């Protein structure tokens, strides 16, 4: 996701190792940003912090935001997943094909202004975490 909207929804049927992560991320970043500069935020999962991922990002000119682990209060994608899940609340898929379609419909219904609001809320989220001395916030 970016402040301009959601990227493609990727269905991964294997474990997310460094190769899978890099092969999935790069096309998504190209679709979201094209040649524009951006700062990428991810968490500290092993596939994200591996030396080969750092090299891959460097080779592709991707700047990564230095970010603490387990900081869901400060990660807009976690809020976006919550929105997508709420949109699916009343849907009752009966099989894997219907579940995939439900996920795609929920994801594609998220419009750019909503993503922009999530990104724009970050200064307030950061302030709330600082005021809470790192403990849980309403975000």
Query: In the prediction, which pLDDT does 90 show?
Result: 84
- Per-residue pLDDT tens, the chain, 139 aa: give them: 988 899 989 999 999 999 999 999 899 898 888 888 899 988 888 998 899 999 999 999 999 988 766 666 678 888 899 899 998 888 889 999 999 999 999 999 999 999 999 999 989 888 888 888 877 777 6
In a domain, 8, yes or no: no
In a domain, 98, yes or no: yes
In a domain, 114, yes or no: yes
In a domain, 9, yes or no: no
**Structural domain of 58:** 18-131
Query: In the prediction, which pLDDT does 19 show?
Result: 94
Query: In the prediction, which pLDDT does 43 show?
Result: 81
**Which DSSP string do the residues of the chain spell out, in sequence order?**
-BTTB--------S---HHHHHHHHHHHHHHHHTTS--EE-----HHHHSHHHHHHHHHTT-EE----SS-GGG-HHHHHHHHHHHHHTT----SHHHHHHHHHHHHHT--HHHHHHHHHTHHHHHHHHHHTTTS----
- In this structure, what CATH number is given to the domain that contains residue 119? 3.30.420.10
How many independent structural domains does the chain possess?
A: 1
Query: In the prediction, which pLDDT does 70 show?
Result: 63
Q: pLDDT, tens digit, for every residue of 71-105?
A: 666 788 888 998 999 988 888 899 999 999 999 99
């Amino acid at each position: 996701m970016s402040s301009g909207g959601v990227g493609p929804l990727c269905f991964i049927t294997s474990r997310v190792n460094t190769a899978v992560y890099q092969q999935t991320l790069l096309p998504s970043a190209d679709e979201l940003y094209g040649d524009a500069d951006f700062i990428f935020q991810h968490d500290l999962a092993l596939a994200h912090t591996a030396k080969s991922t750092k090299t891959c990002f460097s080779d592709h000119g991707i700047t990564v935001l230095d970010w603490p682990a387990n900081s869901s209060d400060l990660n807009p994608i976690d809020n976006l997943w919550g929105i997508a899940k709420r949109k699916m609340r009343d849907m009752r898929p009966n099989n894997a094909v219907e579940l995939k379609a439900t996920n795609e419909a929920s994801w594609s219904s998220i419009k750019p202004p909503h993503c922009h609001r999530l990104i724009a809320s970050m200064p307030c989220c950061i302030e709330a975490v600082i005021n809470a001395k790192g403990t849980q916030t309403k975000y």
